[in-house]
Structure 1
Amino acid sequence: MTRADAIARAHHELHSGAFLAELDRRVAFQTESQNPERGDVLRAYLEQDLQPAFSKLDFTTRLIESPGGKGPYLLAEYKESSSAPTVLMYGHGDVVDGMVGEWRDNLDPWRTTTVGNRVYGRGTADNKGQHSINLSALRAVREARGGRLGFNAKFIVETGEEIGSPDLRQVCESLRDELSADLFLASDGPRLSAERPTLFLGCRGGIRIHLDVNLREGSHHSGNWGGVLANPATILASAIATLVDGNGRLLVEQLKPPRLSNQIRAALADVKIEPMPDEPALSDNWGEEGLSAAERLYAWNTLEVLAMSAGNIDKTANAIPGRAQAVLQLRFVVGTKVDNIADVIRAHLHGKGFPMIEVQATQRFAASRTDLESPWVNWTAESIRKTTGKAPAVLPNFGGSLPNDVFSDALGLPTMWVPHSYPGCSQHAPDEHILLSVTEEALGIMAGLFWDLGEMPRALSSAASHGA
């Protein structure tokens, strides 16, 4: 059998209906990790579905309990040769709320429904569809090699990614020896576009910034008190305007990342952000000046206002509110100093005349990325190009946040993420879906990667494999 045979077998998984049947079975598990009543379902997904699936591939499996009492973890391992490369893979079996009743044509989020090129269902894009693609590709390569993979493989599946992966680092550090590998290879998040295969090496970090202005109890008539009572909503809006301007540009130097390196600029030079017709158009004159859209999204920091509140917008009274609050989010790249970010913002606002604003930083995600000079970057990109005939977009990091730092920093592995979704997939929203066209290409990409990994006599050098 050949590389082409393995890829053909992976494509057959889709054409035969086997892949979609498997995905439908997995989507049916209502694994909402934000719902405290779904604990048994999270465990059942691992025990009843994934453990048997891995066993058929000759992986040994065991469940790891969460030290914090959250959902369990599945550790699967396949050993073939001490001299062969070892790859560590990752996926998450939990999903966000199903949002029953909010989907188009009243679709059931807990079953897959194919409409044209789209396959709808909660978890199809994030992340059941993606780790199912990787499992199917493993199966195709194993069959093509007559029951062998040609490399050693480990897979960790968590059930708490949608609640911030609260115990993942602790669990992985406790399993450091068991999770040792030459390469981390996983799939989550969207490609650059549906048409272009993508490789990203890490993720931006994220911190939520809570701003609260509490001036008094209750509201007071705007006619009787307007002009003599300070308005917390006005204060809050003015304060935010000193952090980020009306074009989304950062105004505080400490919130900005280090200067873009020539290496990062070169990596993003051919990356075009081109939304599909059903995706939002890029805003003109928005974001940092002098940067391309790709540099703004993948190599710069942004401060976004996620929510604001003052008074009752649905039942507006002619009254000055007593309090106002906002939640902002700083998305940041590697090199940004964020350890004391709340103090930085508090000091800035105090200096601008807003000492009454309370500042709190919560829900932190670390920024991390593998060094672009890692030999695994070119190896992965070349394998994808060989399979698809397309040069993949190589992104220094994903625009969003993932627990990449657990693998790149805590475990010290070069991290390669090959996503199988696309920006318009509606993850975390009603109508979540994957595209059949992307799924077919992704099955081939992963089969090609796994085949090429099995052709290696030994792992690539890990020198200079990851960055801070």
Structure 2
Amino acid sequence: MTRDSTVQAALDYFHGGEFRKTLTRRIAYQTESENPQQAPAIMAYLSDEITPQLESLGFSCQIIANPQTGKNPFLLARRLEADADFTLLTYGHGDVVLGDDANWHLGLSPWELHAEGNRWYGRGTADNKGQHSINLAALAIVLNARGGRLGYNVKLIFEMGEEGGSPGLEQVCQQYRDWLAADLFIASDGPRVSAERPTLFLGSRGVFNFSLQVKLRDGAHHSGNWGGLLSNPGIRLAHAIACLVDANGRIQVPELLPAPLSATIRHHLAGLELGTAPGDPQIAPCWGEPGLSAAEKLYGWNTLETLAFTTGNPAKPAHAIPPSALAHCHMRYVPGSDVDHFAEHIRHHLDRHGFSDVAILGPVNCFKATRIDPDNAWVRWSVASIDRSVGKTAAVLPNFGGGLPNACFLDTFGVPTLWIPHSYPACSQHAPNEHLLADVACEALQMMTGLFWDLTEQVQALACDRHG
């Protein structure tokens, strides 16, 4: 078969209903990693759903226990070809956030795939069952088209705890580093910059979680008797947050900022429009760091957000000065930030501004910020392959705006990391009514089929270069 006929086979597979049938089956597994009662479903997804498909493609598979007690298992798989000296590593996660069944639109269930026009609803359609199902289907199509031989090895690590911060993933990557050793990493997660534009991102921003607390006394006191005499923890905490980030979202702590954007990063982010699709929230043009475009703020800069703030009893407020206040905050940060000292910088800044009564609780760096050089040869190769398959120039993002466990692959295995997302920003990921766009899924299947096909030719070209 030719490249064109193989990409056409991918289209036939999609329009023939086979992809939808597979995704329907996978959505029915209630793989909520935050729900301990779903441990049987989580194991079944690995053993009864993913392993049989991989074994049918010639993979050897093993399900291994999580090195962290009580956490979900992993599936490791590899397909080795005789004389192949190039290896592709890929990744997926089969766990999902809580279904939140009661809050979906009437007639929708998170555990049933429901097609409504271009939208395919179901928990995991976008994150991540739909995405890894596209990639595995594309790999199977190329294997069939090439008579069962790719010319390169394929290895896969599959986790069931990504929605909980990927516990144990780094330990597994370290423990099985030789077994999973590779030359290139390609996987899919997260959204494109827009539904219409194929996207390639090269890493992810990091996530630094922390809480701020003001606890001044043991109980509440009547505001008519004590108001104006007792320090109010809610007011104290509000002003403490305001000294960290101003009224327009600009970080006020210089030590929490990254280095200025390089010319290369600015080049790749130039011209990217965000928030223009139907259903997108309206972007506040004056929010965040002045002088940066929306794309530069999202993909090239650090942000500090307050995620939740409580004082007193919001559900039933009393005429009393509350004893304490608590805010949950986090930072999204790019490579080059001084994350190892974020907590110290916040502490010193609060103290300098008179907020020594504000405690910093549980600072945790969930995901390390990572990216590869946007001028890497593999980036150019993948952009050319995508253009050849669907006639579109992919947006190249130095890093994803959210957090992913990319450091496990980039740092542990030392390979270039290419992420090709198959979702879009308004997919309701992590919310009720999560959905995958059918036309995006179809286009993604074409792209990944072409990519896996082209990798054979690229590996052959690399081998010729090495041997003269």
Q: In which range does the TM-score fall when normalised by the shorter chain?
A: over 0.9
More off after superposition, 373-382 vs 128-137: 373-382
User: Does residue 372 of structure 1 match 2:408?
Assistant: no
Equivalence for 2:72: 71
| 1:33 partner letter | S
Equivalence for 2:466: none
Task: Tell me by how many angstroms 1:331 deviates.
Answer: 0.5
Task: Tell me by how many angstroms 1:365 deviates.
Answer: 1.5
> 1:94 and 1:457, CA in 2 relative to 1: closer, same or farther beyond 3 A?
closer
User: Does residue 344 of structure 1 match 2:360?
Assistant: no
Task: Name the SS for the 2:76 alignment partner.
Answer: strand
Structure 2: distance between partners of 1:404 and 1:137: 22
For each residue in 1:249-270, what CA deviation from the matched residue of structure 2 results, as whole angstroms up to 9, or x when unmatched? 0110011011111111111113
More off after superposition, 149-158 vs 204-213: 149-158
Equivalence for 2:86: 85
User: Does residue 300 of structure 1 match 2:305?
Assistant: no
TM-score (norm: length of structure 1): 0.96
Q: 1:449 aligns with which of 424, 448, 451?
A: 451
Structure 2: distance between partners of 1:379 and 1:71: 36
| 2:383 partner letter | A
Task: Tell me by how many angstroms 1:430 deviates.
Answer: 0.5
Structure 2: distance between partners of 1:142 and 1:65: 30
User: Does residue 440 of structure 1 match 2:442?
Assistant: yes
Equivalence for 1:51: 51
Please tell me whether the aligned partners of residues 73 and 157 of structure 1 are also in contact (alpha carbons under 8 angstroms): yes
Please tell me whether the aligned partners of residues 112 and 120 of structure 1 are also in contact (alpha carbons under 8 angstroms): yes
**Structure 2 unmatched runs, 5+:** 464-468
Structure 2: distance between partners of 1:413 and 1:422: 26
Alignment of 1:321-400 (within 5 A): 321-360=322-361, 361-362=363-364, 364-400=366-402
Please tell me whether the aligned partners of residues 305 and 328 of structure 1 are also in contact (alpha carbons under 8 angstroms): yes
| 2:287 partner letter | W
Please tell me whether the aligned partners of residues 6 and 141 of structure 2 are also in contact (alpha carbons under 8 angstroms): yes
| 1:222 partner letter | S
Equivalence for 1:291: 292
Please tell me whether the aligned partners of residues 177 and 413 of structure 2 are also in contact (alpha carbons under 8 angstroms): yes
Task: Tell me by how many angstroms 1:84 deviates.
Answer: 4.7
For each residue in 1:215-238, what CA deviation from the matched residue of structure 2 results, as whole angstroms up to 9, or x when unmatched? 011211112111111000100000
Identity of aligned residues (%): 53
Structure 1: distance between partners of 2:304 and 2:252: 10
Please tell me whether the aligned partners of residues 182 and 413 of structure 2 are also in contact (alpha carbons under 8 angstroms): no
Task: Name the SS for the 1:71 alignment partner.
Answer: coil
Structure 1: distance between partners of 2:106 and 2:85: 50
> 1:459 and 1:204, CA in 2 relative to 1: closer, same or farther beyond 3 A?
farther
User: Does residue 241 of structure 1 match 2:269?
Assistant: no
Alignment of 1:50-449 (within 5 A): 50-69=50-69, 70-360=71-361, 361-362=363-364, 364-449=366-451
Task: Name the SS for the 1:416 alignment partner.
Answer: strand
Please tell me whether the aligned partners of residues 85 and 453 of structure 1 are also in contact (alpha carbons under 8 angstroms): no
Task: Name the SS for the 1:242 alignment partner.
Answer: helix
Please tell me whether the aligned partners of residues 189 and 421 of structure 1 are also in contact (alpha carbons under 8 angstroms): yes
| 2:264 partner letter | Q
For each residue in 1:172-204, what CA deviation from the matched residue of structure 2 results, as whole angstroms up to 9, or x when unmatched? 111111111110000000001000000000000
Task: Tell me by how many angstroms 1:145 deviates.
Answer: 1.3
Structure 1: distance between partners of 2:187 and 2:115: 25
Task: Name the SS for the 2:103 alignment partner.
Answer: coil
Please tell me whether the aligned partners of residues 309 and 326 of structure 1 are also in contact (alpha carbons under 8 angstroms): yes
Task: Tell me by how many angstroms 1:330 deviates.
Answer: 0.6
Equivalence for 1:40: 40
Task: Name the SS for the 1:437 alignment partner.
Answer: helix
Structure 1: distance between partners of 2:159 and 2:333: 25
Please tell me whether the aligned partners of residues 249 and 286 of structure 1 are also in contact (alpha carbons under 8 angstroms): yes
Structure 2: distance between partners of 1:250 and 1:414: 31
More off after superposition, 186-195 vs 65-74: 65-74
Task: Name the SS for the 1:40 alignment partner.
Answer: helix
| 2:134 partner letter | I
Equivalence for 2:10: 10
Structure 1: distance between partners of 2:115 and 2:63: 33
| 2:235 partner letter | T
| 1:175 partner letter | Y
Please tell me whether the aligned partners of residues 275 and 282 of structure 1 are also in contact (alpha carbons under 8 angstroms): no
User: Does residue 20 of structure 1 match 2:20?
Assistant: yes
> 1:356 and 1:460, CA in 2 relative to 1: closer, same or farther beyond 3 A?
farther
| 2:248 partner letter | N
Task: Tell me by how many angstroms 1:458 deviates.
Answer: 4.3
Task: Name the SS for the 1:383 alignment partner.
Answer: helix
| 1:27 partner letter | I
Task: Tell me by how many angstroms 1:373 deviates.
Answer: 2.6
More off after superposition, 207-216 vs 271-280: 271-280
> 1:457 and 1:206, CA in 2 relative to 1: closer, same or farther beyond 3 A?
closer
| 2:34 partner letter | Q
Please tell me whether the aligned partners of residues 275 and 281 of structure 2 are also in contact (alpha carbons under 8 angstroms): no
Task: Tell me by how many angstroms 1:81 deviates.
Answer: 3.9
> 1:363 and 1:32, CA in 2 relative to 1: closer, same or farther beyond 3 A?
farther
For each residue in 1:37-71, what CA deviation from the matched residue of structure 2 results, as whole angstroms up to 9, or x when unmatched? 11121111000010100111111111121111311
Structure 2: distance between partners of 1:49 and 1:12: 23
| 2:46 partner letter | L
> 1:340 and 1:457, CA in 2 relative to 1: closer, same or farther beyond 3 A?
closer
Query: When the two structures are aligned, how many residues end up with a matched partner?
Result: 461
Task: Name the SS for the 1:456 alignment partner.
Answer: helix
More off after superposition, 231-240 vs 263-272: 263-272
Please tell me whether the aligned partners of residues 209 and 329 of structure 2 are also in contact (alpha carbons under 8 angstroms): yes
Structure 1: distance between partners of 2:80 and 2:24: 30
Please tell me whether the aligned partners of residues 96 and 162 of structure 1 are also in contact (alpha carbons under 8 angstroms): yes
Task: Tell me by how many angstroms 1:274 deviates.
Answer: 3.4
Structure 1: distance between partners of 2:83 and 2:218: 68
Q: CA RMSD in A?
A: 1.3
Task: Tell me by how many angstroms 1:459 deviates.
Answer: 7.5
Equivalence for 1:464: none
Task: Tell me by how many angstroms 1:460 deviates.
Answer: 5.5
For each residue in 1:53-105, what CA deviation from the matched residue of structure 2 results, as whole angstroms up to 9, or x when unmatched? 01111111111211113111111111124345311000001001011121112
Structure 1: distance between partners of 2:266 and 2:188: 24
